[in-house]
Structure formats: structure tokens, C-alpha cells
Structure 1
Amino acid sequence: MRYDTELATAIPLRRLEAAPENLLTLFGDHSLDAYRLGMQRCVSLVHHSLSRHQRPFSGVEPDELQPEFDAIDLDRPLPNVEAGLEEIQRLYLDHAVHFHNPSYVAHLNCPVTLPSILAEAIATPLNTAVETWDQSAGATLIEQKLIDWTTARIGLGDAADGVFTSGGTQSNLMALMIARDAACAELPGHAGNRHHGLPADYRRLRILTSEVSHFSVQKAASLLGLGYDAVIPVPCDDDKRMSLEALRARLEDCHRDALLPFAVVATAGTTDFGSIDPIPGIAELCRSRGIWLHVDAAYGGGLLLSRRYRHWLAGIEQADSVSVDYHKTFFQPVSCSACLVRDRRQLGHVTYHADYLNPRDQADQGTPDLVNKSLQTTRRFDALKLWLTLRTLGAATLGGYLDDVIALTRRTYALLQERDDIDVLTAPALSTLVFRYRPAGIRDDATIEAINHHVRHTLSRRGEGVVAGTRVDECFYLKFTLLNPQTQIEDMRRLIERIVAHGEAFVADHGHLETASNAAGYDSEVAPSVMATFADAGRT
């Protein structure tokens, strides 16, 4: 079955008529009429995309869309902007994944607030860069005000500070870089990393984190010159939370082996399970050993605004640094994130003064150049969207959205638990559910994996739903990530019914599976044959 070509058929849209010639020129006061007409056309395109495409995805696959891109010569421009917009509709909008659709439940993508989109429409034309005051003026103060607001919500204290980042990966990298350099500065005979590089015994440095924490911790270790092996995974309890006993044992192992654990990363909202590590206990262990505590709250940071569940973040105020992704549970467009630290002086580890941009004497005079505390130089004015959202909707509204999502997740968990043919791995913490369809009589994991791969692929191919997949203990599972406060329990009930229907149809089409599985529990020839055929079944 090819993707639904009806989705790619455009409703007649109001075209650009008699567009001023300067539509193709640079933006400025001379092109405001063309800007207005062009924006109206773009609004029309987005309106068409959202109102016409009532499914989360067209179902198109890479090998179907790639030939259209292969035929494009970027060195031969189109005749006008109208032709360019029509091309964008065909290549992008007709196949865009709609995160606001209730049947999109795959990754940590959220529907976004309307004020945040309006803010983007203001910030982008002006192209404000927030690295220095003389490029941004009020934009610098807007970002700083939001940083101060966030650190106050966390409870980091009056000496706290931070900066907006591109996302949790950059925030974690920045926090761990600061933690590494702060630890190295304390080593006997080492004058600091910024001028002299890593100390001679840097291979002893270690980061400890949950075995289900975000992969950006490993990436950060690699980028920091320490390597993946510098990250020590700490086992979790049955709820996928870092085990305090295991953390204590790992720290004792480090002491025995003469290693230098300089940071512990606690996760407030793991990607697969939404689990929140026991931050108070971890903080106590870190404090007693003089180890930097970083809390990765990229996912769970929105709990800072929750009236019902704020207590789940108890202990976060003891962190030395925190990552928060506003583009997840604050319902902002990407990118919109921040790295916060308890002691603003630690941000000096990322400071470099360039005479042509942020000279030292400018900082001494008190000029608030944000580049002084950022890994990036040029940065977009991402803070404006969060600012306008808070100033018009309020923090309580955002917190209520997350509360609604958590309630929906619990109700969906109950639906899954009612079924004998669905295995749910754990009870939900935040808003994720990890499960798999397992029909009666089929026991081997390889065959169950083939069925669930087929279910996921078929849902996407038919545009019925976008569901994530993951592996736990080498077994494949499906995953719901719920971040849409407008999704209703009936939407989830229908999606679950489609999952079961596709699973049942696959088993019916491969009737030998049940007999083979029952006969021996696992047939080494059956499962590979299923894995080889499920993709073809999903394309018919």
C-alpha cells in the first residue's frame, strides 16, 4: 500500500496576486507590503496543512519521497516565491508529522502554545542575536528574567544563573563540562583546564548516572575527551529509578579503584519511562563526597509549574546544575531550553573574552553580554516565545496542561492493563507507557517483536498513528509518549484498538506462528522468517 495520495492533493489556496517585485528582496521597511502578503500566504499554507490533514502522518516512506528531491537542482532557482511555496507544500507540508494530532504519541514532541508562535513571528524577521547587549538590548533582559524565574522556581538560591541552550543535550554537555573543569581545578598541582588542558590523570575521571538515563551523558563524556567508558551506569529499582544502594556501591568501587567520580547525573524524567530518580538521597551522597550533582530535568522540568505534582521534584533545589527543556513540558516550539547552575561563578568555565565582541573591560563595566556564559556564540532569541506564553497564559495554565497529560497517561495505563493480550512493562511515572502486544499462545520474544514491528509500521504507513519503539532488556516494546493535553481517553482507546487489530491480522495471516510457538516455545527458524516477512506485510 502506498501512502494516501489524497493527502497530497492541495485544496485551492489563495495565491499571491500582483505580489510586489520586492518580495524577492531583503527584508526591511521597503518590503513591508511584500512581507505582509507573503505571511498571509504562509498562514494559508499552514491552515491548509492543519485543516486538510486530519491524520498525524501521510505514511510516505523515504524511498518514495527521495526521488522528488533528487530531481531538484538547487543551482537553478524557481521563477517566483509562489512556486517556492508550492514546492514546500509538496515536499514538506503534505508529509509533515503533526505533533498536535491526538494519534501522535511517539516522542517527546508537544503541541505548542499560540502565543509562542506569535512570538516567533516577531523575533524571526528582526533576526535578533542575543550573544551581546549591542545586538539584542531588551532581548538580553528578557532571557535573563526568565533564567532568574526558572532558578527561583527550582530553588537554587540568589547566586544562581544560567543561559538558554539548543536543548537538553547541549545543557547536559555544558553542565558536565563545568563540573569537570571545577573538579580538575581542585586537583593538586593543576592550574585549570582552560589554559593547560586536562590533567595528566584525566583517565581516572568518572561520571555516574542511571542505566536508563539519556544518551547525551555518554556523548558529553566523549566530547569532553573522557570517552564513553568514563560513564558508569548505575542499576535501577523496579520502577526504573536509580538505586541509592547501587549508587553507593559504585562510589565505593571508584574509591577502591582510585578513580575520580566528579559528577552524578540524576534524571527527572527518563525518556522511556518518565521515571524520576530519588534526588534527595542522591544529593546527600554527592554532598558527603564533594561530588557535583547535575539533574537532567529536560523532560520533567514542567513539574516546576504543577500544582499537583511539584513535590515529585523534591531535592532538585540541592543540585549544582539543572537542565530544563521548555520545548517539552512547557509546550514551547523547538528550540527552547536552558542550563542552570547554583553558583554563577561556575559559568566562568565557559567564558572567553574576544576584543571584537565581548572584551573584558565591557564585562567589568557590567554589560550583560550573554555570550560570556554560553557555549554558543550566535543564538536565536528563543526566550521571547516563553516570555509571551507566561505573560498571556500564565504558569498555572502550563502546569495544568502537564497535570492533564499525567492524568490521561494513568487512564491509558488502566486501558492497557485491562487487556490480556498487552504486556505493560511498568506503571507510568510522568507520561510514557512502555508495552507490547502479545497474543495468546505466542511466547518467544523474537516472534512477538516481529508482530510489534509490524503493528508500528502499519499504523504509520496508514496514517493512523505514530507510536515509538524501544528496547528493554533486549526485548522490543512499543511506547506511548503523551504530551498533548487535548488528547482524550477515547482517542487512546481507538489507537489501542487499532494496535490490537493490526496485531490480530498479522497473526491470522501467519497462522503457523501459533502452532510453532506452542510446540516448542521457540523455534529458531520461525522467528527469523517472521522478521523477514513482516515488512512486506506492512506494505500491502
Structure 2
Amino acid sequence: MSLPPLASGPEGPDALRPLLATVLDALHTGTQARRGPLPAGGPAAVAARVRDAVGDVLPDEGDPQALHTLVQALAEGAADPAHPLCAAHLHCPPLAVAVAADLAASALNPSLDSWDQAPAASELETLVTRALAREAGMADALVTTGGTESNQLALLLAREQHGPGLRLVHGANAHHSLPRAAWLLGLPTPVAVPTPTGTLDPATLDDTLTRLPGPVLVAATAGTTDAGLIDPLPDIADLCATHGARLHIDAAYGGGLLFSDRHRPRLTGLDAAHTVTLDLHKLGWQPAAAGLLAVHDPSELTALHHHADYLNADDDTDAGLPDLLGRSLRTTRRPDILKIAVTLKTLGRTGLATLVDQVCAHAQTLADLIRQHPTLDLYDRPTLSTVLFRPTGAPDAAVAALRRHLLTDGHAVLGRAHLDGRLWLKTTLLNPHTHPDHLAALLKAAEGNTPT
């Protein structure tokens, strides 16, 4: 029996070519079989189809058709973020060039925990992270798996600077990963400031900071998960300076506005933060994962230093081998920076700005269509690319049932958000190829079909 071929090395490209053809054919076949943004039938039907395709997970004898069979099953049973009616979550359709770069990263398989496993990748990561940090007014950045890891790292760095008594203050609109990170790190119970208008109110925050003993970390949000709103960053930064509080800004969603001259001013005040969360598998069109934590003071990263003689021996470091172990809490780490670097270089600032401007314009168009619709209510004008709406007069239970009905039938993928005391259907428009007729079809799926 011959040994299976490897993806890297001199023979790697030749081994990959027929397999790529198989994968592309299976993706096409599976997508055609799905025929919509989501597989029809709901969880039970999808699970049954997957079980049928997989069969024996670990058979005695291998199946040479397994690659095609399982990729096709996954594509047929996928929520397709490139489908214009798949608009529920911050789940972007990745750019083809980024996916192609990700294939190279997988084939070469460098691990960024020591220089001798990733010589070129480590230098590429240094160049790109610092460039992206400068875009946010910061000095350096670490690559993470996304907003959750970035937020946790931000709290960890703050704790190491200010001690275990550090108290997190965040708006009720903040991402769930922030209070969860406080719990994981053993910090005092966070203080959640009410956000009845959807964003942090400076007067309420001022009162909270006046009453709280220090040290305090304030977490503001630039792009809330539910409605895509941006906290008043300049006012919050001023309050933090007045009260001596540390500031972290979670810009996992809104950080993509940095690429757009038109929308970048909405992030004024971002550079006043001590740390900033960015996430390019949202408004950056990257395959997951593509997160970053940008820091204002690179010296704070020394808190992450860790010694393992087989990875960063002192004499190796003294001899000039870069120490990578303090660049993450993870050890083995794939080169997610490659796809980001390829995207930045291929599209440039202008190309990325076009994508950002396009999806924000789509949101405004959808809001206009909802305002003109006789049986749908709009929550508010969109700030980013998220639009909330609901059938006029429908009770919350009916709105929830409508969403599940659309999911089960595979007609449309809409999210949900509870704001202003009511349940809203949520669309997060991240597909720059969407057209107005797609937006009209999205509303057509929801109009007049509210299950009772």
C-alpha cells in the first residue's frame, strides 16, 4: 500500500491539484443541491443527511470518495454567507483571494510559536500587525481567533497592569465575551451600565465612575452585535481620562470602517483607548479566524512572556532568534496573517473601502424599503450594516416563530435582537454583491407570512 501524498514539499502542488478539482466539484454539487441560503428541513433533517453521508466514521478500509462525499454533504448542509438571503449574523462571505491564501497557509503549515517553525510567517505577522495597529492609532497588535479572545486578552493585560481588584464597567450593549472574560480571570463582578438608547450614555457612565472606587476598566463598543451601534467614543475617552480609568474599545464589528474615508470619522476617539479589538472575519471578508488585539503601549505585552526552553531558549534569543511565545496565549498557531496580508495587498485601501461603503449603502437601501413597506416596522436608521425590522403589530412570539419558519424551510437566514422591549428580526448585510432585488426578496420572505 502506497503512502498518501503530502500537501507541502516538492510534490505537494502536484498532489493538491486533483484534490482541489474534487473539492471544487463537491462544493458546486452541494450548493446546487441546497438551492438556497440554508438547508431545508431543520436540525433533524440536516443531521440525518449528514449521518447518511458519513456512515462509519472510522472504517476498516478507507474510502477514496470520502473527500467528495463529505465536502458535498457539508456544502449541501451549510449556511451560505455568500447567499444574499443569508443575513443573520456577523458571518461574512470570504473573499476568494483570502481563501486561496488560506490554502497556502494550510499546505505550508507553519506554527507561530517559534521562529524555526515559521521564519517568513513570523516576519510577515510583525509587519502586518503593526501596520493594522497604526490604522487604529495603536502601536502593535496580536493575532487572535476573534473578538472573544481579543477581549479576554485586553482584560488580562489590564489586570496585569492594575491588579486583581480591577473592575470592568461595560454597557448593557457590550459583547457577552467581556463579562465572561472577567469571570474567567477572577476579576470582581462587572458593573453593567444600562443602555436604553442602545449606546453608553456619558452622563450615566460619569455617575458610575464617580461612585466606583478604582481601578476601573471601561469597555466601550464600536459596532454592537444586536444593532451595529457605536458608543460615543470621544466622550467616553474624556471621562476615562478625567476619572483615571483604563479604556478598552471593542471594535470587532465597526473596526472595518477604518478602511473607508467616508465612514472612518465614526471611529473618532478610537486612538484614545489602551487596547482595541479588531476582527477581519467581519468587515474584512476573511475566512475565520482573523482577529487582532491592538495595544497602545507595546511594553504591556511583556505580561504575556513565557519561557519554554525548547521554543525560546535564552541563548537562542540572545543570538537573535525572535521570541514568538509571548505573542499569544496559544502555543501552536497557524499563520492567519497570510490571508490578511494577501487581501490588504491585493485590494489596497481603495478596494477595501469600496466593500465597506457598499455594505453600509445596502443597509441604508434596506432601511428605505422597510420604511416604505405598509406592513413592516423599522427599528432605526442603520449605523453600520445591521438593520432591524419586524412585522407591524405582530407579538414577539409570532416574530420568533416567523424566523424559525424561514430557517426550517431554508428560505432566509435572519437573526433576532431584543431591543426597546420588543423582538426584532435582524439582518446583517456583509455581502457586497447583494443587489436591491435581493433586499426586496428578503422582505418578501417576511411580509404577511407571520405564523400564529
Tell me what 1:250 maps to.
Answer: 208
Question: 1:76: which partner in 2?
Answer: 59
Separation of aligned partners in 2, 1:154 and 1:466: 32
Counterpart of 1:390, as a letter, is: L
CA deviation vs aligned residue, 1:232-290 (integer Å, no higher than 9, x gap): 1123363x221100110111121xxxx33421111110111111111111111112232
AA aligned opposite 2:145: S
The correspondence for 1:149, drawn from 131, 137, 159, is 131
For residue 278 of structure 1, the aligned residue among 214, 221, 232 is 232
Structure with higher Rg: it is 1
Secondary structure of 2:311's partner? Answer: coil
- Within a 5 Å distance, the mapping from 1:13-412 to structure 2 comes to 21-23=2-4, 28-29=9-10, 33-50=14-31, 53-67=34-48, 72-77=55-60, 79-90=62-73, 92-156=74-138, 160-184=139-163, 198=164, 202=165, 205-226=166-187, 230-236=189-195, 238=197, 240-254=198-212, 259-412=213-366
Could you tell me which residue of structure 2 aligns to residue 495 of structure 1? 442
Check 1:334–1:364 CA distance in 2 against 1; reply closer, same or farther (3 A cut): same
Does the CA-based 8 Å contact 1:436-1:452 persist in structure 2? yes
Which position in structure 1 is the counterpart of 2:430? Answer: 483
Contact 1:178 1:346 in 2 (8 A): yes
Q: Counterparts of 1:435-454 in structure 2 under 5 Å? A: 435-439=389-393, 448-454=395-401
CA shift, 1:214, in A, is 0.4
Kept after mapping to 2: 8 A contact 1:60/1:95? no
Alpha-carbon separation, structure 2, partners of 1:130 and 1:51: 38
Deviation at 1:32, TM superposition (A): 5.1
What amino acid does structure 2 have at the position aligned with 1:218? P
Partner of 1:469: 416
- CA distances 1:37-92 after superposition (whole Å, capped 9, x unpaired): 222211221233345544111123222233456674433255323134314423x2
Structure 2: gaps spanning 5 or more residues: none
C-alpha spacing 1:144/1:45, structure 2 compared with 1 (3 Å): same
Whole-angstrom CA distance in 1 between matches of 2:374 and 2:13 = 62
Deviations 1:338-389 (A, max 9, x none): 1111111101111111111123444455533332121111111101001111
Q: In the alignment, is the contact (CA less than 8 A) between 2:170 and 2:218 conserved in 1?
A: yes
Cα displacement (A) at 1:138: 0.9
Shift in CA distance, 473/261, structure 1 to aligned 2, threshold 3 Å: farther
Flag the 1:248–1:77 CA change in 2: closer, same or farther, 3 A: farther
Write the distance in 1 (CA, Å) between the matches of 2:324 and 2:232: 33
For residues 79 and 289 of structure 1, do their structure 2 counterparts lie closer, same or farther at Cα, with a shift above 3 Å needed?
same
**Alpha-carbon distance in 2 for matches of 1:301, 1:217:** 17
Aligned residue for 1:334, secondary structure, equals: coil
Which whole-Å CA distance do the structure 1 matches of 2:24 and 2:61 have between them? 21
Residue identity in the other structure for 2:201:
S
Q: Is the 8 A contact 2:311 2:325 kept in 1?
A: no
Check the 8 A contact 1:23/1:81 in 2, yes or no.
no
User: Which one-letter code corresponds to 2:148 in the other structure?
Assistant: T
1:247/1:77 CA distance change after superposition, 3 Å: farther
- After TM superposition, give the deviation of residue 97 of structure 1 in Å: 1.0
- CA displacement, residues 310-334 of structure 1 (integer Å, 9 cap, x when unaligned): 1000011111111100111011110
Q: Provide the rounded CA distance (Å) in 1 between the counterparts of 2:414 and 2:2.
A: 45
Distance 2:123 2:6 in 1: 32
Tell me the amino acid that sits aligned with residue 132 of structure 2: T
Q: Structure 2: how far apart are the matches of 1:75 and 1:43? A: 24
Displacement of 1:144: 1.0
**What value does the CA root-mean-square deviation take over the aligned residues?**
2.2
Aligned mates of 2:199, 2:344 — CA distance in 1? 32
Distance 2:316 2:264 in 1: 40
| CA pair 66-362 structure 1, distance change in 2 beyond 3 A | same
Normalising by the residue count of structure 2, what TM-score does the alignment of the two structures yield? 0.93
1:431-459 superposed Cα distances (whole Å, 9 cap, x missing partner): 111221124xx6xxxxx122212221222
Residue 158 of structure 2 aligns to a residue in which SS? helix
Give the number of aligned pairs.
450
> Are 2:375 and 1:421 aligned?
yes
| Structure 1 residues 472 and 270: alpha-carbon distance in aligned structure 2, compared to 1, 3 A threshold | same
Distance 1:176 1:392 in 2: 34
Name the SS for the 2:423 alignment partner.
strand
State whether residues 78 and 84 of structure 1, in contact with CA within 8 Å, keep that contact through their aligned partners in structure 2.
no
Contact 2:85/2:411 (<8 A) preserved: yes
CA distance in structure 1 between the aligned counterparts of 2:369 and 2:207, rounded to whole angstroms: 39
Q: Distance in 2 between matches of 1:101 and 1:67?
A: 24
Amino acid at match of 1:89: Q
Secondary structure, aligned partner of 1:367: coil
Q: Distance in 1 between matches of 2:211 and 2:279?
A: 33
